[in-house]
Amino acid sequence: MPRALALVILPLCATLSACSSATAENPIRVLAVGDLHADANQAQKALQLAGVVDDKGHWAAGKAVFVQTGDVTDRGPDSKKLMDLMDRLRKEASEAGGEVRSLIGNHESMNLLGDWRYVHPLDVEQFGGLEARVAAFGEGGPYAKWVQERDLVTKVGDVVFCHGGVTPEWAEKGVDGINAAGREALNSRNMEAPVLGTDGPLWYRGYVLDDESVACPKLDEALEHLEAKRMVVGHTTQRDGRVQTRCDGKLTVIDIGIAGHYGGHAGAWEMVGGDARAMYVAGPEDLEDPTP
């Protein structure tokens, strides 16, 4: 038994030309939600609000690209449900001409590496008990594979998505290099791998917490390496339930506390033709966009 376990036991195109210019690499509509933390009910509310799913939980976003920036596990009882949901939506989106990119966060990596400090007791029950959950994340287990097969970072058009943040040092390796390093560390369960450390893409908080005089020059350097204009991250919960932008719109923080554990704030991020907005129950709000 891992040591830590003992502690727990639809907007349309604005113009025809915009529609015709959309490609798989640069889709006209991109949707994203942040940390869901094993709360299936709140996840449904956020995804339905964004138009990602219908009232039955099935793909409803057509040809859009949807990114989930990690941390679907821990804090609540529904880790298994949400991991399964991401798999099902990926298949349904593909059939509709859309795409789902579900990334991993620090909590998925923690589960794989045996750090279960934040696993909810009811989550263990949904796997069929402690032994079954240990096996699910153990060598060759289905949810170990779920974590190991996913990326840490993805890029859609000129927007980079990740859980925590990509520092300039990691950005130099490019999206493919980061993901290769992450997959190697996860496959070998190397808890000491720098890519899984505090300055790696799953844990880094500097862009959100540091003063902009420090954070923004570093972000500019990272975006230059990644040939991107904007970075969208989760991980650092915005306790007011609002999507935040920093560095003249070059950074967007979408962990707004969707799960009940963090307040149950339904919301999502959407970008259409390079124009981003936050989506809330009360209605959408325009967000600052980087200068072209």
Does residue 19 register a pLDDT over 80?
no
Percent of the chain with pLDDT over 70: 91
Q: CB of 36 within 8 A of CB of 71?
A: yes
Instruction: Give the model confidence (pLDDT) of 140-172 as tens digits.
Output: 999 999 999 999 999 999 999 999 999 999 999
Instruction: Give the model confidence (pLDDT) of 47-85 as tens digits.
Output: 999 999 999 999 999 999 999 999 999 999 999 999 999
Pairing of strands 230-233, 251-253: parallel
Mean pLDDT score of the chain, rounded to an integer? 92
Does residue 13 register a pLDDT over 50?
no
Place of tokens 């079954």: 132
Q: What is the pTM of this model?
A: 0.91
- Amino acid at position 68, single letter: Q
Q: CB burial class (10 A; 0-12, 13-18, 19+) of residue 108?
A: buried
Q: CB of 255 within 8 A of CB of 234?
A: yes
How much is the average pLDDT of 249-263?
98
Instruction: Give the model confidence (pLDDT) of 103-140 as tens digits.
Output: 999 999 999 999 999 999 999 999 999 999 999 999 99
- For position 28, what pLDDT does the model report? 79
Quick one: pLDDT band at residue 231, thresholds 50, 70, 90? very high
Does residue 265 register a pLDDT over 60?
yes
- For position 292, what pLDDT does the model report? 80
SS3 call for 170: helix
What does the block give as tokens for 75? 């804090």
- For position 21, what pLDDT does the model report? 39
- For position 32, what pLDDT does the model report? 98
Does residue 248 register a pLDDT over 70?
yes
Domain boundaries, the chain: 28-286
Q: CB of 98 within 8 A of CB of 61?
A: yes
How much is the average pLDDT of 84-89?
98
Fold that domain 28-286 belongs to in CATH:
Purple Acid Phosphatase; chain A, domain 2 (3.60.21)
- For position 26, what pLDDT does the model report? 56
- For position 25, what pLDDT does the model report? 54
- For position 71, what pLDDT does the model report? 98
Does residue 221 register a pLDDT over 50?
yes
Quick one: pLDDT band at residue 17, thresholds 50, 70, 90? very low
